[in-house]
Amino acid sequence: MQHLNTKHQSQNLKTSDILAMVQTKRDSSTRSCPLCDEWTTQETERDSTSFCQHLGRHLQQIALEAIPPLKGMEAIPLISPRLLDQSAILRLQPVQKVEADMRLLGIDHPDTLKSMTRLVWELTDSEEYSVAEQLALKTFEMSKQALGEDHRETLYRMCTLAEVYRRTHDTKHESESLALQGLEAAKRVHGENDPSVANFLSVLGEIYTDLGRLSLAADAQNKELRIYMENFGGEDPSTMHCMDKLSDTLLDDKRYTEAEHFALQAFELRKRAFGPDHTETLVNMYNLALIWHAMGRYDEAIQLLEDYIHKQQNILGEESTTDIETWQMLLESWKARQVSSQPQNARRGKSRSGGQ
């Protein structure tokens, strides 16, 4: 096998030998990996399950080498050989999935393209932006050729590419242009209220937020929210997440009344869907307190922040420490309430910003 021949020439091993090692529970003090130096006998605290998982990574590579490439695939570079020096990427499970799909199904098979798209998101979340951008562009072009420009999956990969561009390009021009192009295509093919339209609106909302164009961001997020409400209802996670984004944008844009409307709506929906003490419900509680503080409704903000801290302690224990940001926000609300309760002439010349 190529993997063993090139990487472990000094080892006289067969696949059956490695399988036997996986199936055998040996004492950790005598167990070592014959294929690499990553697992050493000095690390005596590691358990048998971890050792089997370590050997399983070698078996994955062996299994991939055993799959013969399809005709015409010999000259196409696979994913993992180009990334062998980047161990953090190589450990991602979607890498092996893409490689197996390419060998078994072909490079332009719909399932291969789906695996490649999942890998793009894994790479993006791992902040491997350069590799993610290359793979996203390649996947988009392959999807156009295999499925057509207007296919739903192609539009999704176009949206994925726009989001990758947003995270990697400082100017945002390329991302905005691609997202606007995809938005019009999705409207034309699937209609104004299709979820594919919401995907592009979501990316545009993030782009405009990055650029500080908050009015445009709120407009895109409002349209996105209406699509989610119509297609999935208020208690769908996508709908509630969109409410959160819109409320945050409106708060940043100092449109407090509108921000409060959507924050209250998301708060009530999450209380019904998850319960009053769920972590996501508590996040909504905190966000609503921020809005009330910004509106000058300090008594309500203080009450909500104190409830938030109490619920956190009930969940995590009395000795748990609430994050510093929450205590700072509570302190600012206390100080702001004290200042606002003073006579007008006593307050003249003082600033309420920054907890001063």
Mean pLDDT of 332-340: 85
Nearest to 157 by CA among 205, 129, 206, 116: 116
| Each residue's pLDDT tens digit, 103-139 | 778 888 898 899 899 989 988 888 888 888 999 999 9
| Each residue's pLDDT tens digit, 210-253 | 999 999 999 999 999 999 999 999 999 999 999 999 999 999 99
Mean pLDDT of 23-36: 55
Q: Is the separation of the CB atoms in 259 and 291 below 8 Å?
A: yes
CATH level 2 (architecture), domain 235-356: Alpha Horseshoe (1.25)
What's the chain's average pLDDT?
Answer: 79
Structure confidence at residue 47 (pLDDT): 63
Longest dimension (CA), the chain: 89
Mean pLDDT of 302-328: 78
Structure confidence at residue 248 (pLDDT): 96
Structure confidence at residue 334 (pLDDT): 86
Structure confidence at residue 323 (pLDDT): 72
- Helix ranges restricted to H, the chain: 2-7, 15-23, 48-66, 87-90, 93-104, 110-125, 129-147, 152-168, 173-190, 195-210, 214-232, 237-252, 256-274, 279-294, 298-316, 324-340, 344-347
**Residues comprising the chain, all counted:** 356
The DSSP letter of residue 9 is T
Alpha-carbon distance of 145 to 182, in angstroms, equals: 17
Structure confidence at residue 310 (pLDDT): 86
Structure confidence at residue 127 (pLDDT): 87
Mean pLDDT of 249-268: 96
Q: What is the pTM of this model?
A: 0.71
Confidence tier at 339 by pLDDT (50, 70, 90): confident
> Which carries the bigger pLDDT value, residue 106 or residue 316?
106
Backbone angles phi, psi at 213, to 5 degrees: -95, 75
Alpha-carbon distance of 322 to 305, in angstroms, equals: 11
Structure confidence at residue 75 (pLDDT): 35
| Each residue's pLDDT tens digit, 140-167 | 999 999 999 999 999 999 999 999 999 9
Q: Is the separation of the CB atoms in 39 and 69 below 8 Å?
A: no
Q: Would you kindly state where each structural domain of the chain is located, as residue ranges?
A: 1-66, 235-356
Structure confidence at residue 353 (pLDDT): 35
Q: Is the pLDDT of residue 351 over 60?
A: no
Q: Is the pLDDT of residue 44 over 80?
A: no
